Amino acid sequence: MNYNEVMNYLSELRPYTEEQMAGCEEHTNMKALLKELSNPEEKIKFIHIAGTNGKGSTASILENILCTAGINVGAYKAPGFDRYNRVIRVCNQEISDEDLIRFCTQVIEAWDRLNVNRKIALNELMFAVALLFFVDKGVEIAIVKVVIGGAHDITNVIPAPILTLFTPIGLDHCDILGHSIEDIAKEKAGIIKEGSTVISTIQPPEAELVLRLTCMEKNVPYFSAPNAFYKGFNLEKKAQSFKVLNQESSRIPKQYTSLKKLSEDASKVVFETQMLGVGQLMNAALALGIGGLLIKYGYDMNIENLKKGAFDVVWPGSFEIISEKPYVIVDAAHNVSSVEVLVESLNLYFPEKKVHFIVESPIAHKSAGMILALKDKAADIRVVNEYETREQAEKFDLLVESAEIDVKRCNDVKGALSDALSNATSDDIVVAFGSLALAMKIKDMM
């Protein structure tokens, strides 16, 4: 297949299987596909990441730290809003068009040989391509983000990873994963496998209980990531500084002496990162906490690797300042918990500034919840969304009216941005959030 043929093929695929969207994917077809491809997943070590918020930025920090340490590391994220090449990287380098076409062709031909009575899903195809590419490039460790959920996610076909990470767990994709944090945590805990080691950031109590009990059942060590606390914000460098607290040595088993030593050393230095936002402190601490665990597997990790890796990483669309006078910030916050973190970050960095918000959400009741989280910070809000039903639109209107927030509906993102900029002074801030896709749209318009 040539480039145009493969691109056309990919554009016609559904992102997920029907089973995955129904929360009942058993991976039968994916396992058969990987077997047809000589099981590339058995030739790689993995770090598997699940959670509601922060998976992408945590993976990015970790990837940069491992690359800095000289480890040949691969990274896979869900196919999203832009170029397919961005989905698959080795040491921060995207897969080339040539390799993308070569491995897509191999996977498509293998799928056809299986005679499955449906087309392959985009996530199935791209994950198989990533695995083939990682093997071809001699990747030592592959960092794999769960796409949706955990147990029923396509990525859960991998063998026991050396490390399993959990970023903050909250409410999202409730129609698929469940309507309580406990239910969602159970789905995400489904990636925990015997033979792995789990490290988690701070979790809601009900989520942490699920993770710990699952680890006990499967005889898997469980570690809490070190806590991080904010030290300062350098607007000129567009970087924040932070410290990590020493993990309690009494709670670290003797076989993890390397973790104790690195944890003690890390607690004595101040780290900087160009990834902004309060939530990134937890994500950075989670990534840093992995360093000592990797020493156990023979990898050379030290404080300088951690410091350089944490600072150099950039995660587009995460509290990203793209313009000044007025400051224009884009953020991928897409649910209530991540919007609350966004507001906390604005209060920390710009406590006195007037903020004009733009939010884009395809679901009315979801955007209503996010807008309510802005109540105490917003000078005004512009909403760009498509109401699913009249009932949801009316519910949205009632919530906004009862909250007494200045909300304006806009037909498109361009109009919303133009209106926000025209109402902002040079000392104000315009913040656009809702998705990475929105962040990229705004950046293209500036």
- Walk me through the domains of the chain, giving residue ranges and CATH numbers: 3-312 (3.40.1190.10), 320-445 (3.90.190.20)
In this predicted structure, the answer to whether residue 295 has a pLDDT above a threshold of 90 is no
Residue 73 to residues 65, 70, 311, Cα–Cα distance (Å): 10, 9, 18
pLDDT of 57-110, one tens digit each?
Answer: 888 889 988 998 899 999 998 776 567 898 999 998 999 999 999 999 999 999
Contact (CB, 8 A) for 138 and 45:
no
Average pLDDT over the chain, rounded to an integer: 86
Output the furthest CA–CA distance in the chain (Å, rounded).
62
According to DSSP, the residues that pair with 166 across neighbouring strands are 50, 200
Which pLDDT value is given to residue 322? 92
The share of the chain scoring above pLDDT 70, in percent, equals: 89
Which of 56-65, 87-96, 287-296, 432-441 is the most confident on average? 87-96
Strands, DSSP E only, in 373-414?
Answer: 378-384, 407-409
Give the separation between CA 298 and CA 402, rounded to whole angstroms.
Answer: 58
DSSP structure string for 11-71: HTS-SS-HHHHTT----HHHHHHHHHTT-GGGGSEEEEEE-SSSHHHHHHHHHHHHHHTT-
Which pLDDT value is given to residue 213? 96
Give residue 22's pLDDT band: very low, low, confident or very high (50, 70, 90). low
* Number of residues that this document lists for the chain: 446
| 335-346: average pLDDT | 88
Strand order of the sheet with strand 355-360?
Answer: 320-323, 327-331, 429-433, 355-360, 378-384, 407-409
Give the separation between CA 307 and CA 68, rounded to whole angstroms.
Answer: 10
In this predicted structure, the answer to whether residue 49 has a pLDDT above a threshold of 90 is yes
Q: How far apart are the first and last CA of the chain?
A: 37
Model's pTM, two decimal places? 0.84
Give the separation between CA 283 and CA 166, rounded to whole angstroms.
Answer: 10
Which pLDDT value is given to residue 100? 96
| Cα four-point dihedral sign 135, 86, 47, 273 | positive
Task: Please tell me what DSSP assigns to residue 350.
Answer: -
According to DSSP, the residues that pair with 272 across neighbouring strands are 241
Look at 395 and 188; give whichever has higher pLDDT: 188
| 187-202: average pLDDT | 93
The CA-based dihedral angle spanning residues 61, 67, 73, 78, taken in that order and rounded to the nearest 10 degrees: 30
Give the separation between CA 422 and CA 431, rounded to whole angstroms.
Answer: 14
pLDDT of 254-269, one tens digit each?
Answer: 556 666 677 777 778 8
Contact (CB, 8 A) for 296 and 256:
yes
Check residue 59 and give left, alpha or beta (phi > 0: left; psi -120 to 50: alpha): alpha
Which pLDDT value is given to residue 249? 44
In this predicted structure, the answer to whether residue 252 has a pLDDT above a threshold of 60 is no
Contact (CB, 8 A) for 430 and 327:
yes
According to DSSP, the residues that pair with 48 across neighbouring strands are 144, 164
Task: Please tell me what DSSP assigns to residue 115.
Answer: T
Tokens of 206: 């009900």
Tokens of 352: 């006195």
Give the separation between CA 352 and CA 35, rounded to whole angstroms.
Answer: 58
